[in-house]
Amino acid sequence: MTDHEQLPKPGFVLDTKLVKRFVADESDEDGQAELADQVAIIAMFHAELPNALAAQMTRIVQHLGGEAELVRWLDRFPGRPKIVARLFALIDLLDTFSAEPSVVTALSELRAGTRDPPGLSGYLSPDTDDETLGGLAWHIEQLAADDRMAGAVRLAQNSAALVERLAARARELNPDLPDLADLAAKAGKAVDDAANEAAGLAE
């Protein structure tokens, strides 16, 4: 085994020495930050990972205690790791409510006879169904997986704004829904904050 397990995409690697030190609790903060930067991209590939690399990711996740703990760990490190952690939260929101009938109806009504909402043309499916918001989540993942973070952030912001717009109508149809407008606003702001922090660090 080499020191780096290569993704099926040039440039993205997972350093096995960093992984070994991390799971042995021997990593310093700089080492963890370097590993987190690699994990942030690789985590977006899910089932597309080759077996050896998937095994390395499993070791990291198990060491941290689960997927939720992985996201919290990534959120500790500014830049790409924190942005990805915040994107995951919005992706989860989109996936969770994509098939909710009141949300589908509200989105369908919003789109009826109008152009696609700002920034979402080419990302929304032509017909509104129980996979439409999930499709936006998929596109966010793909942009992040391609390391197109600016595009992923913009799409996340526009997706959050879409959920905010349909939330009131969805809750009229189903009063038992949580406050989707608030959840989407908080998720979108969290992505904004991480992206702005990263931009500040780059200056």
Are both 192 and 113 inside the same structural domain? yes
HEC-encoded secondary structure of 117-184: CCCCCCCCCCCCCCCHHHHHHHHHHHHHHCCCHHHHHHHHHHHHHHHHHHHHHHHHHCCCCCCHHHHH
The residue range of the domain holding 98 is 80-202
Are both 28 and 93 inside the same structural domain? no
Closest by CA position to 194, among listed 140, 146, 156: 156
**DSSP helix/strand/coil, 201:** helix
Residues 86 and 76 sit within 8 Å (Cβ to Cβ): no
The number of distinct structural domains making up the chain is 2
pLDDT(7) > 80 = no
Q: Quick check: is 1 in a domain?
A: no
Per-residue pLDDT tens over the stretch 48-82 = 778 888 899 999 999 999 999 999 999 999 999 99
Residue that terminates a domain, selected from 74, 103, 123:
74
Per-residue pLDDT tens over the stretch 152-161 = 999 999 999 9
Are both 106 and 65 inside the same structural domain? no
Residues 87 and 191 sit within 8 Å (Cβ to Cβ): yes
Are both 65 and 110 inside the same structural domain? no
Instruction: Give the position of tokens 């789109």.
Output: 111
Residue that terminates a domain, selected from 74, 98, 119:
74
Prediction pTM value = 0.87
Cα–Cα distance between 161 and 156 in angstroms, integer?
Answer: 9
Rounded to 5 degrees, what are φ and ψ at 75? Answer: -65, -15
Cα–Cα distance between 159 and 162 in angstroms, integer?
Answer: 5
End-to-end CA distance of the chain: 38
Are both 61 and 132 inside the same structural domain? no
